[in-house]
Structure 1
Amino acid sequence: MARPRNPLLSRERIVAAALRLVDAEGLAALSTRRLAAVLGVSGPSLYNHFATKDALLDAVVDEVVGEVDLSMWESVGSGDWAGALRHWARSYRAALVAHPNLVPVLAQGPGRRANALRLADVVFGGLVDAGWPRGEATRIGALMRYFVFGSALGSFAAGFVDDEQIYAAEYPHLGQAHLLAEHQRSIDEGAFETGLTALVEGLALQYRRAGSTRP
């Protein structure tokens, strides 16, 4: 038998192609017709694996969440929850920054997505195992999610144009603003690390203060 010209379709192959398409061209580019053309198949053949475009998008989004490293939570117990929180936040942000076109969809919440629900379960469980009350653990998870997503939604440094004259006359404190975009990565990453340190150290202080009330 002759070998098929194109590899057989699978969920994994479809999701990988859809992710590449969204990364390259944005969410608006993702359609059944366009994806079928990229894969070299007929449009209806995709429906054997995904009943709707929303189901496909859910799978693509969950693939990105699956890139987040959760290994640091495996043996936290009552130990280094703060270190686990830092490592997880950095890994989460890295996954979002690598796929910025999907951030608005990811920000909507886990829904029924397996990797996203596992992430929420592992982080919440790790905090509770470390001694945080369940209500506090829920709020910390939400807080960190707001912070990580906010840092990935856009670049502060890139918001300033490279034109000194725009700022020089009317905005005396922005005399160097036209240089910010040139240092976008270091500024954005530095801001994230500053915020992460402030959040985790503040939580650690709260944890120590509440220590006497814990069993």
Structure 2
Amino acid sequence: MRVTSSSLPAARGSAPARRPPGRPAVPLDRILATALQLVDEEGAEALSMRSLAQRLESGTATLYRHFTNRAVLIGHMVDRVLGEVELDQGALAEMSWDQACQAVAQAMFDTLGKHHKVAPLLIEQTPIGPNAMMLRERCLAVLLGGGLSAGLAARAYASLARYVLGFAIQLAGSDNGAEREQVSAYFHQLSPAEFPATLAVADSLPVSLEDEFAFGLELIINGLRRLHAR
């Protein structure tokens, strides 16, 4: 569902616009791909106009031809990631509103899971790029199509989006299998006298972040069903 924009063609017969002296222009798509690679590898805090220019083997002036500042760059990069969310419109159309809503939220989470270091950048600004707008539109359409009121649909989408983002941000530190094994072993060694309840469920601890997300998402959807039923 990725949406891209293209520049208008030059007027027929006109001479190509002259660029000021300096480094050659870098295509927007390459800039965004490189920015995303930088964040995936080094984290959101590593992204700056200077660090990105160095990766591109160019100068910051080249970037400022496309973006007025880092915030604008982040907006474009975030929208590029949201454009990777895969939604099967045919399958969604055959689902009930609650099933479709759950599928959209899961797809968003799966995509951010591939770029978990990008997730913190989503809290810096409300995504309003073309991909973000289309994703929001489709989710709201599902909710409204299911008969939810405008107010409930808006709050439901906002809550789901923040829920997805909150879990996606935690993904960066959830892939340490060795640490999970250590925590599990610790729980199993607890004193039955002091921690009988924890020891009773030790075989199920710690719960993986993915399982927590799926369980919590089901609770949210169930809550929306009950609100809608009122």
Scaled by the length of structure 2, the TM-score of the pair is: 0.71
Establish whether residue 37 from structure 1 lines up as the match of residue 37 from structure 2. no
- Tell me which residue corresponds to 1:162: 182
Q: Give the conservation status (yes or no) of the 8 Å contact 1:70–1:119.
A: no
| Cα deviation, residue 136, structure 1 | 1.0
Q: CA deviation at 1:151?
A: 2.0
Q: CA deviation at 1:8?
A: 6.1
Partner of 1:28: 45
Which residue in 1 is equivalent to 2:132? Answer: 116
SS in 2 for 1:162: helix
Matches within 5 A, 1:175-186: none
- 197, 202, 208: which is aligned to 2:218? 197
- Give the deviation of 1:145 after TM superposition: 1.6
How far apart are 1:73 and its partner, in Å? Answer: 8.1
Separation of aligned partners in 2, 1:73 and 1:135: 27
**Corresponding residue number in structure 2 for 1:4:** none
CA distance in structure 1 between the aligned counterparts of 2:92 and 2:195, rounded to whole angstroms? 51
Uncovered stretches (5+) of structure 2, i.e. residues with no partner: 1-23
Shift of 1:138: 0.8
Q: Name the SS for the 1:100 alignment partner.
A: coil
Distance verdict in 2 for CA 1:72–1:55, change over 3 Å: same
* Cα drift, residue 61 of structure 1: 1.1
Shift of 1:177: 6.5
Provide TM-score, normalisation by structure 1: 0.75
Q: Is the 8 A contact 1:70 1:122 kept in 2?
A: no
Answer 1 or 2: higher relative contact order, Cα 8 Å, separation at least 6.
2
Name the CA shift for 1:55/1:62 in 2 (closer, same or farther; >3 Å): same
In structure 2, what is the Cα distance between the partners aligned to 1:12 and 1:160?
39
Is the contact between residue 117 and residue 169 of structure 2 (CA under 8 Å) also seen in structure 1?
no
Match of 1:134 among 134, 146, 150: 150
Distance change in 2, residues 1:153/1:171 (3 Å): farther
Change (3 A) 1:196 1:95: same
Q: Aligned to 2:33, which of 3, 16, 33?
A: 16
In the alignment, does 2:72 pair up with 1:55?
A: yes
Residue of structure 1 aligned with 2:63, choices 38, 43, 46 = 46
Say yes or no: does 1:67 pair with 2:84.
Answer: yes
- CA distances 1:184-209 after superposition (whole Å, capped 9, x unpaired): 7xx222222222222223323443x3
Give the number of equivalent residue pairs.
198
1:179 deviates by 9.5
CA distance in 1, matches of 2:37, 2:117: 11
Q: Which amino acid aligns with 1:168?
A: L
